[in-house]
Amino acid sequence: MQRCLVTFVSQTAAFRFKRLAEDNGLFVKIIQTPKELSRGGCSYAAKCARGDALKLTSLCRRNGVGYSRIFAEFTDTSGRRSYEEIR
């Protein structure tokens, strides 16, 4: 399954996002943002199915839940992850 990460500047926003997703029947997992995506300091990300990203960000806008950026997650044959920002 293709995954994406939605990044947040606060833990509060990340968990509001998770609750909003679950209230709408979508699964997300909150993780610390990978260091190569973090803009300094500690931040949080929600890992979700890439196919749910548009629906989730639309829910965020309608419900006032702020997020920073969205990344597609890729895993190579050795298990190494890389990320590409989705605009």
CB within 8 A of 29, min separation 6: which ones? 46, 47, 48
Mean pLDDT over 61-82 rounds to 93
Residue ranges of E strands in the chain:
3-8, 28-32, 44-49, 70-75, 81-86
Mean pLDDT over 7-24 rounds to 92
Evaluate if residue 64 carries a pLDDT over 80: yes
In the chain the domains, ranked by start, together with CATH numbers, are 3-86 (3.30.70)
Mean pLDDT over 4-29 rounds to 93
Digit-coded pLDDT (tens) for 19-58: 999 999 999 999 999 988 887 777 899 999 999 988 998 9
